[in-house]
Chain A
Amino acid sequence: MDINFVIEKFALVTALFAISLVIAMYSTYAERKVAAFLQDRLGPDRAGPFGILQPLADGVKMFMKEEIIPGNASKWLFMVGPGLAMLCACIGTAVIPWGQDLNIGGRVVPLQVTDINVGVLYIFGVVSLGVYGVMIGGWASNNKYSLLSAIRAASQNISYEIAMGLSIIALLLVTNSLSLKEIVEQQHGFGWNVWVQPLGFLIFMVCSFAETNRAPFDLPECETELIGGYHTEYSSMKLGFYLFAEYINMFVSSAVMATLYFGGYNYPFMDTVAGLSWVTPNLAAIFGTLAFFLKIFAFIFFFMWVRWTIPRFRYDQLMNLGWKVLIPLAIANIVITGIVIAVIKF
């Protein structure tokens, strides 16, 4: 194995991990600022200018708090829960193409940890695994509210996974590839998949909200019914891990949505920009990556916007939406896509 290969992958993984954590950290700050903006308040503004040191203060607070493990809790699983939530949140970034290949000293460095040819399914697998952290933590707490929350999380996750998978199938009919890198390459310039799969995108987005447990689908942590939900018994950094995992999930699902439907690192007039005399290929790739992050931030803002605008669903409404609206819509979308593709080919 080439030593340069190991170094470059290691650097990329470290950078991705750091970026995920920093974005998650500042998402907590952004969430409070967005909430304040939407509710005509100021939001955090004490720690540093505009309160930008607030996430650090919160982090220190989390570490300093007393760590409590309930007496009758299953101790080992109680600790595994938040760790698993965090792990599942972080590994999703491995298959996302973050930019065009860079050329460093004659070496082609892809800005993607690994381009497995089942990338879409890998993301889907990681998403479906994410619920274990919540379930195990909720059960191990030995608290009936936590248990109810864990059960809610499981049934919600399973229900929305089906619609999500079906919306991905319609997308795959269009792209003919399961590799995320290829899917992004196909959307060169402004030919994004959202133009051909608008309904599929809508279904995928609603399901992403449900899979990340974000409002209006945050029933597992519905405080009016379940106190704190699955993390009722958690304190200190274990609680911090659960909250952090939610924000990393939000970041990863924003990245996935931007990759699958909004062209990833492609942006309109990218060929014109790349053709300018002062733009080297590396610089053009960096512009693409910046465009990608801009899209991700737009999605994260959208997540927050929805959270502070729309009230939480009732549980039966959630199940009705998942099974009776989204799944039939997703199946209709597959059939229509299939017919259109057959007609075009004919």
Chain B
Amino acid sequence: MGTSVFYVVATLSIIFSLMVIFAKNPIHSVLYLIVTFFTFTVHYVLLNAQFLAVVNFIVYMGAIMVLFLFVLMLLNLNKENEPNKSAFVKILGVIAGGCLAVTLVGSFKAVAINSPMVLKNPNLGLVKNLGKELFGPFMLPFELCSILLLAAMVGAVLLTKKEEKANG
């Protein structure tokens, strides 16, 4: 049951990810991305990672994608004002994408050798266990991540302040 659901959802993830790229309209593209994130949420549920699933749901689908949609609606992008990309840029894009693909394949090959973390303790994804894990052995990396986010936030605020000074 679990495996067949996984294959169905994984197929959907791939289809919708492709739709993100192939959609002509940027708004449609973002909407497909939202559906893709929803399929990821289902994947997390299948892995018994309830907390991760619901956080993915709230943060990615509920907040970040709303902001994406918000910005795109403000920009009012359409076909007419889409910049024409030269052949040179297209070739560069293909090369860069190919490099990324090679790196990803390489890293996934390395992962396949180690058995996945989830299998060792299937209840790791529940809130209580995840919290104990994060604030126990992974305390330092966790706090460092939050400092990183804080730095990004301060940076963003600083950028808007600079703009204000230049204008005024």
Interface residue ranges, A against B (CB under 8 Å)? 77, 116-118, 121-122, 124-125, 127-129, 131-132, 135-136, 139, 147, 150-151, 154-155, 157-158, 161, 178
| Contact A131–B54 (Cβ < 8 Å) | no
B152 contacts chain A at the CB level, 8 A cutoff: no
Q: Which of the residues A122, A124, A135 comes within 8 Å of B66, measured between beta carbons?
A: A135
Q: Nearest chain B CB to A170's CB is how many angstroms away?
A: 17
CA of A234 to CA of B50, assembled, Å: 38
Q: Tell me whether chain B's interface is mostly helix, strand or loop, or mixed.
A: helix
**Which of B51, B67, B69, B126 has most chain A Cβ within 10 Å?**
B69
CA of A77 to CA of B73, assembled, Å: 14
For B61, the chain A residues whose CB sits under 8 A away are: 125, 128-129
**Which of A127, A129, A136 has most chain B Cβ within 10 Å?**
A129
Given A117-B126, A118-B127, A121-B54, the answer on whether A151 and B73 have CB atoms closer than 8 Å is yes
B92 contacts chain A at the CB level, 8 A cutoff: no
B118 contacts chain A at the CB level, 8 A cutoff: no
Given A128-B66, A129-B61, A158-B63, the answer on whether A135 and B54 have CB atoms closer than 8 Å is no
The residue on A at minimum CB distance from B41 is A125
Q: Nearest chain B CB to A247's CB is how many angstroms away?
A: 22
For B27, the chain A residues whose CB sits under 8 A away are: 139
Q: Tell me whether chain A's interface is mostly helix, strand or loop, or mixed.
A: helix
For A161, the chain B residues whose CB sits under 8 A away are: 62-63
Given A158-B66, A158-B67, the answer on whether A125 and B54 have CB atoms closer than 8 Å is yes
For B63, the chain A residues whose CB sits under 8 A away are: 128, 158, 161
**Which of B61, B62, B67 has most chain A Cβ within 10 Å?**
B62
The residue on A at minimum CB distance from B51 is A118
Within 8 A of A (CB), among B70-87: 70, 73-74
Within 8 A of A (CB), among B58-114: 58, 61-63, 66-67, 69-70, 73-74
For A157, the chain B residues whose CB sits under 8 A away are: 66
**Which of A125, A139, A150 has most chain B Cβ within 10 Å?**
A125
Given A118-B127, A122-B54, the answer on whether A155 and B70 have CB atoms closer than 8 Å is yes
For A147, the chain B residues whose CB sits under 8 A away are: 73
Q: A-B pairs with the 6 shortest C-beta distances?
A: A128-B62, A125-B57, A121-B54, A154-B70, A125-B58, A118-B54
| Contact B73–A135 (Cβ < 8 Å) | yes
User: What are 6 A-B contacts with C-beta separation under 8 Å?
Assistant: A117-B126, A118-B54, A124-B58, A131-B66, A132-B66, A154-B66
B5 contacts chain A at the CB level, 8 A cutoff: no
CA of A194 to CA of B129, assembled, Å: 29
CA of A132 to CA of B64, assembled, Å: 12
Q: Which of the residues B31, B58, B70 comes within 8 Å of A151, measured between beta carbons?
A: B70
CA of A77 to CA of B27, assembled, Å: 11
Q: Nearest chain A CB to B123's CB is how many angstroms away?
A: 11
For A136, the chain B residues whose CB sits under 8 A away are: 31
CA of A139 to CA of B66, assembled, Å: 13
| Contact A117–B50 (Cβ < 8 Å) | yes
For B54, the chain A residues whose CB sits under 8 A away are: 118, 121-122, 125
Given A117-B126, A121-B54, A161-B63, the answer on whether A132 and B70 have CB atoms closer than 8 Å is no
B139 contacts chain A at the CB level, 8 A cutoff: no
Q: Digitize B5-33: 1 where CB-to-A-CB distance is under 8 Å, 0 elsewhere.
A: 00000000000000000000001000100
For A139, the chain B residues whose CB sits under 8 A away are: 27, 69, 73
Given A158-B63, A158-B66, the answer on whether A117 and B31 have CB atoms closer than 8 Å is no
For A124, the chain B residues whose CB sits under 8 A away are: 58, 62
B34 contacts chain A at the CB level, 8 A cutoff: yes
CA of A202 to CA of B147, assembled, Å: 30
| Contact A118–B66 (Cβ < 8 Å) | no
CA of A77 to CA of B74, assembled, Å: 18
For B57, the chain A residues whose CB sits under 8 A away are: 125, 129
CA of A147 to CA of B34, assembled, Å: 19
| Contact A178–B66 (Cβ < 8 Å) | no
The residue on A at minimum CB distance from B128 is A117
Beyond the given A151-B73, A161-B62, could you list 5 further A-B residue pairs with CB under 8 A, ordered by the A residue number? Answer: A118-B51, A121-B51, A132-B34, A155-B70, A158-B67
B158 contacts chain A at the CB level, 8 A cutoff: no
For A118, the chain B residues whose CB sits under 8 A away are: 50-51, 54, 127
CA of A158 to CA of B65, assembled, Å: 11
CA of A18 to CA of B31, assembled, Å: 30
Given A117-B50, A118-B127, the answer on whether A129 and B62 have CB atoms closer than 8 Å is yes
CA of A118 to CA of B50, assembled, Å: 7
Q: Nearest chain B CB to A183's CB is how many angstroms away?
A: 14
Q: Nearest chain A CB to B130's CB is how many angstroms away?
A: 11
CA of A150 to CA of B73, assembled, Å: 9
